[in-house]
Amino acid sequence: MEKNQLIAIVVIVLIVGVGAVYFLMNPLAPSNEVIIFGTTDSVEASLDPAQSYDYFGWEIITSLGAGLVEIIPGTSATANDIRGALASSWTVDSTNKIWDFTLRQGLTYYDGQPFNASCVKWSFERNIDMAMEDGPQLNMGYGDIIDSITVTSEYEVRFNLKIAFAPFLQLMACAASYIVHPDYKDDTTYVDFDAAEGARGSHPNDLGPYVLTNWTRVGGSDSLMRLEKNPRYWDVANIPKTDTIIIQFYSTDTALAAALTSGEIDVAYRHLSAAQVANFRTNTAVRVWDGVGASIQYMLFQQTIYPFNETRIRQGVAAALNRSNIASTVFEGTVDPLYSVVPAGMAYHEPSFEVYGDANYTFTADCLDDFGYNTTNKLVVDLWYESSGHYPSSPAQATVYKSDLEASGVITVNLHSADWPTYRIQRNTGTMPVFIYGWYPDFIDPDNYAFLPFASWLNLGYNETSPAGGVAQYDLWVEGRSAQTSALREAAYLELQELQAEEVSLIPLWQGRNTAVTKAAIQGVILDITVNWRHWLLYW
């Protein structure tokens, strides 16, 4: 070999080596095998299915783990739209209370441990028994649905239910039902990384398309995550199309939009403003993806604080709101007015809050007059909203709600804000008289929405034994979720929605659509009613 050739080879090796070092040191280095995903969201508490109960935490869990079944991407999530994941098949008996799952064989966790029926039993019993504060198994009522889990063979597991729970497969498909590693014990805290295993040791999920290799948090908020293709992933048909997903976090939607415009990131998802999305639609360097949304937002009353324990007061506030106004101004037509806690387009939806109309100030004045509130003695509403980007355009939303309510002439609004961690603390202590909240579905069924007006974790001081008399909301909800036929479910849910409009524990405001913006070359984005983001489908 000639000297010049040898020098050239050495130079090339050095360049490649330096490049590799640079990429390892700089996780945002560009590559055709890397997609950089930007968001204003953050993991709320952990990546443990027994603890995680926030949208973004679940999105990461679905990239790192797997459940018994999954919803086919791009479908409407009916029972016919569910396919096997860790389970290859299942059957249910005539009572709809005994479910048998046959598991796939030969699957292993990242560390090589085998997956079998004992892992399924362990996962569900662990998560339900932990009953962590604000944990999904507690708040979603897993213990009210599942009586026991039995291993019937090495690769067969049986769920014995307490009730004939209609949306059981949808429940099994959600992130809270994902299977955990058998070595993770009840008292493990996953916010703090395992020193020996680094980022991967910070969570108990090991059966998904990706492995978490970097998780940087600053001051309790996420700064950067790195997902690497799992070499042991079992689902050949859905092996990630991109080796590495880097998640870059931004404190504001302005910073997120700027990062996409400058080319710093490849994908922007949650929460660009409507104006920013509209601007991107005119930019040929990017693509705007639109899809159906299942997210909703609503206004809540702390009913231990007078006068919001009075039904007529709550009804008067409901009548003063103008949903079309918020949809056309803040969101520029990218959300739809909502008149029930069950979203439009979902089974058994009934727009029961239409009884109040929009900006029905005559009705508002009549309601408030019963308690001595009028144009000279106005009802004071201390309205709270979160200020850290957890919900889209929260400050702008609050300003419009203030304007709507004050246009009645008998209400004055004081606006207050707090970052998301503080907001949740104040929710738990019951100190916010009126506040805005949102809901992303745990699983796609009316059952997962209809309970919100009396959800214990919202801490509203609401009397679920029905202060108006008659059948309680809770009883109708149980009747609907336990019904054996669709007709019986529909009857229960329609009556429930009418009662919710009468008692006004909350006021539905709007239903979101689902939007993402990517570089023009990015493919594989699917925005469906699950509101799930599937990193493993993205590719160049």
**Mean pLDDT rounded to a whole number for the chain:** 88
Residue 171 and residue 212 in one domain: no
d(CA 490, CA 445): 12
Q: What is the pLDDT of residue 133?
A: 55
Non-local CB neighbours of 64 within 8 Å, separated by 6+ positions:
47, 203, 205, 206, 208, 210, 211, 212, 227
126 and 64 within one domain: yes
Tell whether 184 is covered by a domain. Answer: no
Would you state the torsion angle of the CA atoms of residues 191, 195, 201, 202, taken in this order, to the nearest 10 degrees? 10
Band (294; pLDDT cuts 50, 70, 90): confident
* pLDDT value, residue 389: 85
Q: Determine, yes or no, domain membership for 191.
A: no
Six token digits for residue 118: 């004992």
109 lies in a domain? yes
Ranked by mean pLDDT, the top range of 229-238, 313-322, 438-447 is 313-322
Structure tokens at 257: 């939009």
353-401 confidence digits (pLDDT tens):
999 999 999 999 999 999 999 999 999 999 999 999 889 899 999 999 9
Q: What secondary structure, in 3-state letters, does 25-70 show?
A: HCCCCCCCCEEEEEECCCCCCCCCCCCCCCHHHHHHHHHHCCCCEE
> Is residue 274 domain-shared with residue 145, that is, in the same domain?
no
Same domain, 236 and 357: no
Task: Decide: 142 and 123 in contact? Cβ < 8 Å.
Answer: no
User: In this structure, are 209 and 160 located in the same domain?
Assistant: no
Closest to 322 in 3D by CA, of 433, 397, 429: 397
Same domain assignment for residues 125 and 163 = yes
Are residues 24 and 61 both part of a single domain? no
Evaluate whether 532 touches 269 at the Cβ level (below 8 Å).
no
Note whether residue 20 is domain-resident.
yes
pLDDT of residue 12: 39
Looking at the fold, whether 98 and 130 belong to one and the same domain comes out as yes
Q: Is the sign of the CA dihedral 166, 170, 171, 177 positive or negative?
A: positive
Q: Give the per-residue pLDDT at 2.
A: 46
Which of 145, 183, 184 lies closest to 165, judged by CA? 145
Same domain? For 378 and 300 the reply is yes
Distance CA 86, CA 83 (A): 10
Give the pLDDT of residue 64. Answer: 96
Q: Name residue, tokens 């804000």.
A: 417
Q: pLDDT for 228-253, tens place per residue?
A: 999 999 998 889 999 999 999 999 99
- 444 and 404 assigned to the same domain: yes
Asked if residue 444 has pLDDT above 90, the reply is no
What pLDDT is stored for residue 463 in this prediction?
A: 63
Query: Which domain CATH number covers 315?
Result: 3.10.105.10
Predicted local confidence at residue 20, as pLDDT: 42
Q: How would residue 180 be classed by pLDDT, with cut points 50, 70 and 90?
A: very high
- Report the DSSP pairing between strands 210-218 and 286-291: unpaired
Q: Which carries the bigger pLDDT value, residue 294 or residue 187?
A: 294
> Is residue 86 included in any domain, yes or no?
yes
Q: How many CB atoms lie within 10 A of CB 147?
A: 13
Q: 285 and 238 in one domain?
A: yes
Looking up residue 230, the CATH number of its domain turns out to be: 3.40.190.10
The answer on 203 and 154 residing in a single domain is no
State the Cα torsion 357-362-368-374 to the nearest 10°: 140
pLDDT in tens, 510-527: 998 889 999 999 999 999
**CA-CA distance, 313 to 367, in Å (whole number)?**
6
Has residue 378 been placed in a domain?
A: yes
Total tally of structural domains belonging to the chain: 4
188 within domain boundaries: no
Domain range enclosing 449 = 296-512
pTM here?
A: 0.76
Mean of the pLDDT values across residues 471-486?
Answer: 85
Examine residue 427 and state whether it is found in any structural domain, yes or no: yes
